[in-house]
Amino acid sequence: MADQSIADAAGIMATAAEGDRSRRARLVIVLLCVGLAIAVLLSLTSGASDASAIGVMHDWLFGALPGDAALSARDHVIIHDIRLPRVILGVLVGASLAVSGAVMQGLFRNPLADPGLIGVSAGSSLGAVAVIVLGSTMLAPLTSALGTLALPLAAFCGGLATTLLLYQVATRQGRTSVATMLLAGIALAALAMALTGILIFMADDRQLRDLTFWQLGSLGGATWQKIGSVGPIIVLALAAMPFLARGLNALALGEATAGHLGIPVQRLKYTAIVGVSAAVGASVAVSGGIGFVGIVVPHLLRLLIGPDNRYLLPASALLGAALLLLADAVARTIVAPAELPIGIVTAVAGAPFFLWILLRKRGVIDL
Amino acid sequence: MVLFSRLPSVSRSALGPAAAVFLAFAALMPAQAAEGIATFADRSRIVAIGGSITEIVYALGEQHRLVARDSTSRYPQAAAELPDVGYMRQLSPEGVLSVNPSGILALHGSGPKEAVDVLKKSRIPFIEVPERYDNQGILEKIHIVGKALGVDAKADALAAEIDAKLKAAEKQTASIKERKRILFVLSMQGGKLLAAGSDTAADGIIKLAGGINAIDGFAGYKQLSDEAVITARPDVILMMNNAGPATADDELFSNPVVASTPAARKLIRMDGGYLLGFGPRTADAIHDLAVSLYGGQVTD
């Protein structure tokens, strides 16, 4: 009797806490939407030049502002061909890296998981480095046919192929073993890195510099073509992610329990792995290696709104996009007219922050 | 979820998306921009990209036209005062546009291609200057830069002067019978030497100074194995001034493999931009290198 009432009370308290948290989560998501809008405006209006984003946008929408008739062709190019594609790419890449991080962490039930675990980063690097090094010799037909899109295509295919191979290796009789996947992932990543190493050995000094910069990451290569080619892939993959939220929540209780709760665990794994691989492969393909967004963003949000993936996934997308835009704004203004690789900005800001979260969580520091 | 609602075998599932992606990429091929200008219409605000290009603009006395330079343009001193638009292979298009250029003069290899495409699209004239590691390459650069800036006569005069200096510099070593074998070391990492093979600026300057590149088995810069260092039998090791701290000299010579070669304690260090720039100062660099190599044997 007494036990029963205690259980009831606990249940009520749990529901109350749940309601509290989800209200908070919704509030955070609304705030993040506003934050993202501000980040977009800030990115469009800041840059190395004094081009007037407001003037150009007014010109598109309602015709030139009075007194702004002499809006130069240069300003149009800067806003339309440099800043706007860059902002869109930043939103897509930031959202896909952060959401993919959150999904991987849910899938592997480990807060440190990132898309690197399923080989996508190593595979993409291999594809990209192959084009940089062999682009003028062995892969010349590919690069002459595809131009600047050869590199993103190769990186994307490299990432996806590595992940699918890994999935195949780790799947026996329709069941994917997460443990096998982790181990085989390490082996495959090592193999891809070794192949990359061979290519680096073959590279000349110019190619070496190109690949160093590529590995540091940049949104500087943003063009409408690239958005047209990787945009749909990222949008499709991101659109599939919210459907995973309930499954990932259940998976936190363990695979067997999730299965008993009626979650199609195998389908969940497959969708998560392919979706993450496509989103991250496409992101890495156009922006190189941008670190720490995938780990820091979901972590930060878990502290704020708890681990419920129904809120965590969309919030990660918003925060990831906003943070990457801000990092990019720093990258392209801090040493203007030159530009810093964005991977440096995200790691310089992200790594100490991540360390702080870890230490705080373990009670080492109280800040 | 709908997308991946079944559990298809990997081979099938991989082919579909891959083909779709390929088509998506192929449909969006870049439009190639047409070009072919040789002289800037407005020569008042020029961005110079590439150390040798900037040097040539200064040598022509046209530096008042420059509004920015890239990070490899460090000579003359005054050039370093100009705004820096970044490393020549990693240009930021908005950074270049922010200095309101009326023309861009870029050494071959400037990029990335996306940045160059945007710059071309902004209708700012873009002239690319080819690079070759020999005398003709330098003269060609001078002619192209001069034409771009509309000072052909000055360029002809400068080219003639440089040509005479280059020829004289080459003649200085013509009578030397015993050619030295030179190993150009770009950098050392963990005791391993990164050396210059053929098709490099270092290879070009070594030949012009009357030396023999000790490495002839590969093109570009590669790490050498200890045995390759011994087989190369270098008489002299050539390095850039800025390649590591001075203490690196001791590290280099304490390497038993290097110590076993004829080059045991012979190291020449020269400024990187001066030695490898292939610009107006190259004749002097050839002379300096030749004197360092052969001393009194160099005829004036």
The answer to whether the Cβ–Cβ distance between B85 and A338 falls below 8 Å is yes
Total count of domains within chain B: 2
Lowest-confidence pick of A58-72, A281-295, B47-61: A58-72
Question: The domain spanning residue B50 has which CATH number?
Answer: 3.40.50.1980
Do B118 and B211 lie in a common domain?
Answer: no
- B-interface mutation test, from A339, A340, A345, most B Cβ less than 10 A away: A339
Tokens of B137: 């390459």
Residue B295 pLDDT more than 60?
yes
B297 touches chain A (CB under 8 A): no
* Nearest one of A139, A191, A196 to A165, comparing CA atoms: A191
pLDDT at A339: 86
- Assess if residue B175 is contained within a domain: no
Residue A36 pLDDT more than 60?
yes
Do B185 and B153 lie in a common domain?
Answer: no
Top-confidence residue, A231 or B220: A231
Task: Evaluate the omega torsion of the peptide bond into residue A337 and state whether it is cis, within 30 degrees of 0.
Answer: yes
Instruction: Give dist(CA B149, CA B37) in Å, integer.
Output: 12
Mean pLDDT score across all residues of chain A: 85
Top-confidence residue, A244 or B28: A244
- Output the CA–CA distances (angstroms, integers) from residue A167 to A120, A161, A249, B5, in the order listed: 11, 10, 22, 16
Query: Strand, helix or coil at A31?
Result: helix
* Nearest one of B92, B132, B98, B110 to B48, comparing CA atoms: B110
pLDDT at B213: 95
Residue A260 pLDDT more than 60?
yes
When pLDDT is averaged across residues B204-215 and rounded to a whole number, the result is 94
Give the pLDDT band of residue A15 (cuts 50, 70, 90): low
Q: Which residue has the tokens 């084009």?
A: A131
Contacting residues for A336 by C-beta, under 8 A, at least 6 apart: A47, A48, B92, B95, B98
Exposed, middle or buried, B91 (CB in 10 Å: 0-12/13-18/19+)?
buried
- A-interface mutation test, from B72, B74, B92, B117, most A Cβ less than 10 A away: B92
Residue A73 pLDDT more than 80?
no
Give the pLDDT band of residue B52 (cuts 50, 70, 90): very high
Give the ipTM of the model, two decimals please: 0.71
Do B86 and B138 lie in a common domain?
Answer: yes
Do B115 and B226 lie in a common domain?
Answer: no
- The domain boundary residue, chosen from B170, B202, B217: B170
Do B226 and B190 lie in a common domain?
Answer: yes
- CB pairs below 8 Å between A and B: how many? 170
Q: Which domain holds residue B292?
A: 181-297
Are the C-beta atoms of residues B258 and B289 closer than 8 Å to each other?
no
Are the C-beta atoms of residues B43 and B100 closer than 8 Å to each other?
no
- Output the CA–CA distances (angstroms, integers) from residue A148 to A198, A226, A281, B223, in the order listed: 23, 9, 17, 30
- Assess if residue B40 is contained within a domain: no
When pLDDT is averaged across residues A98-123 and rounded to a whole number, the result is 88
Instruction: Give dist(CA B109, CA B119) in Å, integer.
Output: 15
Exposed, middle or buried, A129 (CB in 10 Å: 0-12/13-18/19+)?
buried
pLDDT at B3: 39
Instruction: Give dist(CA A118, CA A219) in Å, integer.
Output: 24
Instruction: Give dist(CA B113, CA B131) in Å, integer.
Output: 17
Beta strands in chain A (DSSP E): 171-172, 175-176
For chain A, give the percent of residues with pLDDT over 90: 43
When pLDDT is averaged across residues A345-356 and rounded to a whole number, the result is 86
Provide the pairing of β-strand B192-196 with B126-129.
unpaired
- Assess if residue B39 is contained within a domain: no
What is the CA angle A60-B96-A342, rounded to 5? Answer: 90
pLDDT at B27: 45
Q: Chain B residues with CB inside 8 Å of A73's CB? A: 122-123
Closest chain B C-alpha to A349 CA, distance in angstroms: 22
Do B161 and B217 lie in a common domain?
Answer: no
Residue B32 pLDDT more than 50?
no
pLDDT at B36: 55
pLDDT at B5: 38
DSSP chain B: --TT-S---HHHHHHHHHHHHHHHHHHTPPPPPP----S-S--SSEEEESHHHHHHHHHTT-GGGEEEE-TT---SGGGGGSPB---TTS--HHHHHHT--SEEEEETT---HHHHHHHHHTT--EEEE---SSHHHHHHHHHHHHHHTT-HHHHHHHHHHHHHHHHHHHHTTTT--SPPEEEEEEEEETTEEEEE-BSSHHHHHHHHTT-EES--S-BSEEEPPHHHHHHH--SEEEEETTSS-TTHHHHHHHSHHHHTSTTTT-EEEE-HHHHH--STTHHHHHHHHHHHHHGGG---
Residue A77: CA count within 13 A, CB half-sphere:
21
pLDDT at B263: 82
pLDDT tens, position by position, B138-152: 999 999 999 999 999
pLDDT at B126: 92
Are the C-beta atoms of residues B91 and B110 closer than 8 Å to each other?
yes
- The domain boundary residue, chosen from B170, B199, B225: B170
The answer to whether the Cβ–Cβ distance between B90 and A74 falls below 8 Å is no
Give the pLDDT band of residue B186 (cuts 50, 70, 90): confident
Q: At what angle do helices A205-216 and A120-134 cross, to 10 degrees?
A: 150
pLDDT at A99: 96
R_g of chain A computed on alpha carbons: 22
Q: Which residue of A has its CA nearest to B113?
A: A148
Do B185 and B165 lie in a common domain?
Answer: no
- The domain boundary residue, chosen from B170, B196, B228: B170
Top-confidence residue, B155 or A9: B155
Taking only residues 82 to 111 of chain A, the set having a beta carbon closer than 8 angstroms to any beta carbon of chain B reads: 82-83
- Assess if residue B219 is contained within a domain: yes
Instruction: Give dist(CA A144, CA B56) in Å, integer.
Output: 33
Q: Name the amino acid, one letter, at B166.
A: L
Residue A129 pLDDT more than 70?
yes
Length of chain B: 300
- Assess if residue B239 is contained within a domain: yes
Q: Which residue has the tokens 């260092």?
A: B229
Residue B36: CA count within 13 A, CB half-sphere:
2
**Summary count for chain A: helices (H), strands (E):** 16, 2
Are the C-beta atoms of residues A197 and A120 closer than 8 Å to each other?
no
Do B154 and B227 lie in a common domain?
Answer: no
Query: Which residue of B1, B94, B124 is in closest CB contact with A243?
Result: B1
Do B202 and B286 lie in a common domain?
Answer: yes
Residue B114 pLDDT more than 90?
no
The answer to whether the Cβ–Cβ distance between A337 and B21 falls below 8 Å is no
* Nearest one of B114, B137, B161, B129 to B53, comparing CA atoms: B129
Top-confidence residue, A182 or A364: A182
When pLDDT is averaged across residues A165-184 and rounded to a whole number, the result is 88
Taking only residues 155 to 214 of chain B, the set having a beta carbon closer than 8 angstroms to any beta carbon of chain A reads: 186, 200
- Torsion, Cα A171 A177 A180 A181, to 10 degrees, reads 80
Do B151 and B201 lie in a common domain?
Answer: no
When pLDDT is averaged across residues A296-310 and rounded to a whole number, the result is 91
Instruction: Give dist(CA B2, CA B4) in Å, integer.
Output: 5
pLDDT at A104: 93
Q: What is the pTM of this model?
A: 0.77
Taking only residues 228 to 257 of chain A, the set having a beta carbon closer than 8 angstroms to any beta carbon of chain B reads: 228-229, 232-233, 236, 240, 243-244
Provide the pairing of β-strand B267-270 with B236-240.
parallel
Query: Strand, helix or coil at A113?
Result: coil
When pLDDT is averaged across residues A31-40 and rounded to a whole number, the result is 96
Domains and CATH numbers, chain A: 85-361 (1.10.3470.10)
- Assess if residue B31 is contained within a domain: no
pLDDT at A317: 96
Best mean pLDDT range from A1-10, B183-192, B202-211: B202-211
Lowest-confidence pick of A205-209, A343-347, B133-137: A205-209
Best mean pLDDT range from A128-137, A160-169, B8-17, B259-268: A160-169
Do B208 and B285 lie in a common domain?
Answer: yes
When pLDDT is averaged across residues A239-267 and rounded to a whole number, the result is 92
- A-interface mutation test, from B25, B66, B108, most A Cβ less than 10 A away: B25
pLDDT tens, position by position, B58-104: 999 999 999 999 999 988 999 999 999 988 988 888 889 999 999 99
Segment (H or E) for A214: helix A205-216
- Assess if residue B35 is contained within a domain: no
The answer to whether the Cβ–Cβ distance between A73 and B29 falls below 8 Å is no
* Nearest one of A247, A353, A277, A61 to B17, comparing CA atoms: A277
Segment (H or E) for A183: helix A178-202
Tokens of B48: 């110079």
pLDDT at B207: 94
Query: Which residue of A164, A203, A220 is in closest CB contact with B92?
Result: A220
When pLDDT is averaged across residues A337-348 and rounded to a whole number, the result is 87
Q: Chain B residues with CB inside 8 Å of A174's CB? A: 7
pLDDT at A8: 53
- Assess if residue B221 is contained within a domain: yes
Instruction: Give dist(CA A227, CA B293) in Å, integer.
Output: 55
Give the pLDDT band of residue A49 (cuts 50, 70, 90): confident
Q: Chain A residues with CB inside 8 Å of B186's CB? A: 205
Give the pLDDT band of residue B8 (cuts 50, 70, 90): very low
Do B165 and B50 lie in a common domain?
Answer: yes
